[in-house]
Structures are given as C-alpha cells and as structure tokens.
Amino acid sequence: MTQYLLIALFTAIVTFVLSIAVWRIGLRYKLYPAIRDRDVHKAPTPRLGGIAMFLGVVAAFALSSQHPFFSVFWADPWPVLWLLFATLLIVLIGVADDLWDLDWMIKLGAQFLAAGIIAWFGQLQILSLPIGGLSIGSSWVSFGLSIFAIVIVMNAVNFIDGLDGLVAGVCLIANGVFFAYTYMLVRDTGNTTYFNLASFIAAVLVGACLGFLPLNWGPAKLFMGDSGALMLGLLMASAAIAITGQLDPAVLDPEQLGRSQLLGAFIPILLPIVVVILPLLDFGLAVIRRLRAGKSPFSPDRKHLHHRMLDMGHSDREAVLIFYSWTAVVSIAVLLMYVGTQMSWPGDYFIGIVFGAVGVIACLVVTLIPTRRTSRRRPLEEPA
C-alpha cells in the first residue's frame, strides 16, 4: 500500500508543477481558442492541462520501471509501452482538437485506433465476465468488446467536462474507490504481493487528478481539455479491463467471493461500471437526445446533466459538489457490499445498501432543492 501512495504522491507533485508551467506557457504564447458563445469562462483560458497530466502519468510509469515492487509488469514491458503509446496518440488528438476543433469523425477514428492498439498490441482484452464463470470463447468478440468498452468510457468522461473541477474531481473519487477495490480483490484472490496493473493505474490517475485540480478548481486557470478527459477515460477503462476482464472466472465463483449466489457474482463487474455511472448516464442520454434530433451524437449542446443543474438554480460549484456526492455515494456503497462479503459482516450487503439508500436520498434532496430558485442559464464550457 505504501508504494502505491508514494507513486500517487509523486504523480501529483509532477502534475502540479507541470500544470503551472503549461498554464504560464499557454498564457504567454496565447495557446487557447477564442471565447465562443457557448463558453462559460469569460477570460481566455488555456485548455492544454491534459499535457501536464499525461507527462505526470509517464513520469510515474518511468519511476515504476526502476522500482523492484513494480517489476512484475515490467518483466514484459511491451504491453505497458503500447498502452502509453495509445495514450500519447489520444493526447495528441485531444490537443489538436483543443487548438483547432477537429471534425468529430477524426476524433472518433483516433479513439478506435488507440483502443485497438491497447486491445491488440497491449493485450488488454475482456477475456471473461465474472458472471457465473462465463468466458468469452471468441478472440474477435473479446477484441471488439474491449475496443467498444474503451471508446465508450473515453467519451463518457469527456462528455461531462463542462464545469471547473468537475472531471478531475469525479475521476479522483472514482479512481480512489476503484484502487481500494482492486487492491482488496487481488488480495482476496490469493496474490500475496498485492500488486496489479489496475491498482497502479488507478493510483497514478488519483495523483494526476489531485495535482491538476488546484489549477482547475473554479475559477479555473487551466482546463484539461479533450486531451486530459480522453486520457482519463482511456486509462480508467484499461484499468477495469486489466483487473476484471482478465480474472479467472473460477476465482470469481460466488461461493468464494460472497455468500449471495446472485449479487456476489456481479460485484466484481458492477463496481468498475458504477464508478463511472454518472459519465455513462450522461453519455447515453446525450447520444439518444442528439440522434432523436437528427444530429451527430458528438455535436455539442447545452443539455448535459450539469447544465440541467445550473438551470435548476445551482451555482457552478454546487453542481460540481453534487456530482462528487453522487459518485462517492454510489461507488462506495457497492464497495461496502464487496467488503461485507469478505469480512462476513452481518447481512453481508446490508451496510452497503443502507449507506447507498441514505446517500441517494441525501443526494436527491440537494439535487432537487437548489439554494437559489432563480435559473442560471450558462453555456457550454468545453465541447463534448
């Protein structure tokens, strides 16, 4: 655990220092687009924070290659190098889009290419589903399913990037919970070293978000842009596949992971989805909404969940904190259910269910009853 905390702290420090540098360079050389009618911010703000986050991630991987604790996944470095190469590709595309507003088909093509590199060369594929010991028999089905999963999560994270500190904070919470889950899951399946690539990626992303958030907290000095949001989604999806999609289904037998025949088998695949449930929900609603209107599913609009909160009367900061609360409540509730099965708590899932129920009620109250009744119609900060 100490090694993971140190790598997260290292990533946070590097990302923070580089974020300051990117911010100053962006202002000095005017590396930002003109303010558009749909933008929330009123002053020119660089959108290249994803570069600092990416370099922080690369620095963490470079440090891990020299540390004996992380030598397991560097024994065969090529999957990791291909993962970093795919991440670099998506960051470059994101930077180009932040500066010149690329066509959505170019961005989507690059996303599928990056996901294909991870699934094929990086060898990160969904080989099994922890539901009753179900294995995916076809390599092509596994390959295609992995690509679509990565692309969907990338876009889901990118779609909620519309308020200061929103994506960085949501991903910080989600990866923190996911780290705890992967660490315990590997421990409970008999790995005495407690090391796995998914926990490492989650810890690194916690550090990257933590280091970037001070400059992104409202009023933001620096945006992560598409480069940062797409990178976070890509690495989060890769981490989920690295742990859940590749575990032996026999190890995930409900008799071993929980006394409940039903929920115990679903928790290992449920929690990686739950930690990004709000981005996935917003993404799904946006795609349906735009397709019904005869538009591209990637055309920007002002009907995302956070925009609806602003229209209800919430301030920008209140909307962000509400998103944080929903993410924490839902993901921690499922995590507590998992812990309950392992610790043989009375009722197994009872504490997690109670925590989730109380948390959801509290979140509904603060969501539906804003502190101000007046509607604050605000435009889109960054393109979805």
Residue with tokens 């922890």: 130
Q: Residue 279 — very low, low, confident or very high, per pLDDT cuts 50/70/90?
A: confident
Residue 268 has pLDDT above 80, yes or no: no
Fill in the DSSP letter of residue 220: P
With 0.85 as the threshold, say if the pTM is over it: yes
**Buried b or exposed e, range 3-17, using 16+ CB within 10 angstroms:** bbeebbebbbebbbe
- pLDDT value of position 215: 95
DSSP assignment string, 69-89: GGHHHHSS-HHHHHHHHHHHH
Compute CA 303 distance to the chain's CA centroid, rounded to the nearest angstrom: 21
Predicted confidence band of residue 218 (pLDDT cuts 50, 70, 90): confident
Please compute the mean of the pLDDT values over residues 94-119 and round it to a whole number. 93
44 phi/psi in degrees, rounded to 5: -55, 130
Percent of the chain with pLDDT over 90: 42
What percentage of residues in the chain have a pLDDT greater than 70? Answer: 79
Q: Return the pLDDT at 262.
A: 43
Q: Does the pLDDT of residue 69 top 70, yes or no? A: yes
Count CA atoms closer than 13 A to 54's CA, side-chain side.
Answer: 28
Q: Would the pLDDT of 151 be above 90? A: yes
Q: Which two tokens stand for residue 358?
A: 């109380």
Vertex 145 angle, CA 142 and 149, to 5°: 135
> Would you state the pLDDT for residue 376?
45
Q: What is the per-residue pLDDT for 283?
A: 83
Q: Where are the domains of the chain?
A: 2-368
Residue 255: pLDDT band with limits 50, 70, 90: low
Residue 74 has which token pair?
Answer: 């560097």
Does the pLDDT of residue 128 top 50, yes or no? Answer: yes
Whose CA is closest to 56, among 18, 94, 88?
18
253 appears as a binding residue in the annotation: no
Predicted pLDDT of residue 140: 82
Q: How far is the C-alpha of 346 from the C-alpha of 164, rounded, in Å?
A: 41
Is pLDDT larger for residue 223 or for residue 67?
Answer: 223
DSSP states of 37-60 as a string? TT-S-SS-----HHHHHHHHHHHH
Within the chain, residue ranges assigned H as helices are 2-28, 49-64, 71-74, 78-100, 104-120, 139-159, 166-188, 197-216, 225-243, 254-257, 263-274, 277-292, 305-312, 316-343, 350-368
| pLDDT, greater one: 349 or 382 | 349
Q: How far apart are CA 159 and CA 246, in angstroms?
A: 28
Return mean pLDDT, the chain.
82
Check the annotation: does 158 bind a ligand: yes
With beta carbons less than 8 A apart as the criterion, state whether 314 and 329 touch.
Answer: no
More confidently predicted of 141 and 252? 141
**What's the rounded mean pLDDT across residues 281-301?**
83
The confidence band for 50, taking pLDDT boundaries of 50, 70 and 90, is very high
**Is the pLDDT reported for residue 317 higher than 60?**
yes
| Least confident piece of the model among 61-65, 114-118, 139-143, 200-204 | 139-143
> Encoding tokens for residue 109?
């093509």
- Tell me how far apart the alpha carbons of residues 366 and 358 are, in angstroms, rounded to a whole number: 13
Residue 300 clears pLDDT 80, i.e. is over it = no
